Structure 1
């Protein structure tokens, strides 16, 4: 495949031509500016745990990666609002909402460390025998499924 140099278009020209892409890029750039402003007023190491999720109609939504930092920032919410309202970008700020979204890499590491619990063959047989005496069909079916997951000897 051969392209002539004059046929290639600069990325900025493409983005400026298509209004949807242009709007997305402008929104991303404005979020980056807002993120920098918010981070400049966050205490100490809180900035690395906090991400701007949305700012719309006077409501700022910040996503925090753990409950510890969310609690600390909730205590400092009024001071943070006062500082942010001094900027033109946050002139209509009325509320800050904190949401906790744990870091998935950390959760994946915890889940990998947990050993899977297995039911012994003897326990499976006891569960199956117990299921035979149960009259409720839903409970009986659940116990029978559980018994089938028992280790085979």
Structure 2
């Protein structure tokens, strides 16, 4: 089995490393609360694109644009003319809330599930339907 990184385009991997290095560099300028909410998204046509997860953080980044551009030029040789800030909210992982237990199946529902299991050709589905038909 090949290592996962062998499937990746080397130029994309290098670009990702470069963006990560620039992100770390930008974060050294930022106040502690803002550091974890900002990253370098890209550099395109002389524009440094910063990404943050909230409009509040974007507002603070706007005040720091000049210093960020100086840092990018000094440490990474990037002579971007401007900074564009994009807000991309981070998606939260779905965690189901515990709910009320389901009421037990009545006899009619159990029989319907059993009949459905008998008529299904897929063995996995048949087994699942049978299991449901015998529960509570």
Alignment of 1:1-153 (within 5 A): 11=3, 15=6, 21-87=9-75, 89-105=76-92
Q: Which runs of 5+ in 2 are unaligned?
A: 98-136
Q: Which runs of 5+ in 1 are unaligned?
A: 1-7, 113-153
1:86-107 Cα shifts (integer Å, max 9, x gaps): 12x243121111011122219x
Q: Is the 8 A contact 2:22 2:72 kept in 1?
A: no
What is the root-mean-square deviation in Å for CA atoms of aligned residues? Answer: 3.0
DSSP-derived class of the 1:105 partner:
coil
Q: Is the 8 A contact 1:42 1:80 kept in 2?
A: no
Structure 2 CA distance for aligned equivalents of residues 28 and 91 of structure 1 = 16
Structure 2 CA distance for aligned equivalents of residues 58 and 21 of structure 1 = 24
Greater fraction helix: 1
Q: Residue 98 and residue 42 in structure 1: after superposition, are their counterparts in 2 closer, same or farther (change >3 A)?
A: same
TM-score, normalised by the number of residues in structure 2: 0.57
- Paired residues in the alignment total 96
